[in-house]
Structure 1
């Protein structure tokens, strides 16, 4: 089963740097990337830019519709009308199947803002100790995952060292 993790970086280009390193690790078969997306939010911008990494993973990738719904719920909802908000709420309920619930959305919204970036990663079969090397020291924060509380705690321990 694929794991969804959301990683926040303290700079607008941090997520893209890790993305490049993860692509190399995938070539070494140290992680299997099912799909991913990067959010970059320069300080001077009113909203973030998003990029789906579907060119990395081929046929197993999630659709742009999934990422569009997620990023709409995260970053654009205040700008949309109430009718669209209600429809997105109904769609958002379906996202709970992959571990994306209201708490997930609220936490990501509170952490990712101007001057930061985020990596949304669906992955499996990661050699965690080797993947950790792709993340810059103390500049990446695991915001949320769809792991159990125990598994997420262990992941936070690995990446805190």
Structure 2
């Protein structure tokens, strides 16, 4: 018999990444084994409790980010970094695909010295291989959760699309 443990109430380590539109980033990381929860929001800016509309002006300095809670017995931060760098184009400045603006920049927010070292090492490995990485590595300050309609946006609104693509 299978049993499941709800880990959502437990304080778990977080990985906070920005890489273009947070909807895509959230959906991608939700599929990773060991990821317990993902919420989207804003980090790295100057305005308290910004709205989506304010962030989209580019004037608040916030990046759209995914706040990823994970179980270290199943996935390590270094693996999440590898997935992050493979998910997007870290050579682009303030854009990913058609999403343009500083809110779409490639950024890693680290929460402790271990995450900081791992982030710099991952970026250095890419640079050593000739990849001109522009990803910012920044000390985490605060995560402002985005409006509820942004949470799990793609899975809520495009269920049928994903279902049809998997056939």
What range is the shorter-chain TM-score in? 0.3 to 0.5
Q: Could you tell me the TM-score, scaled by structure 1's length?
A: 0.40
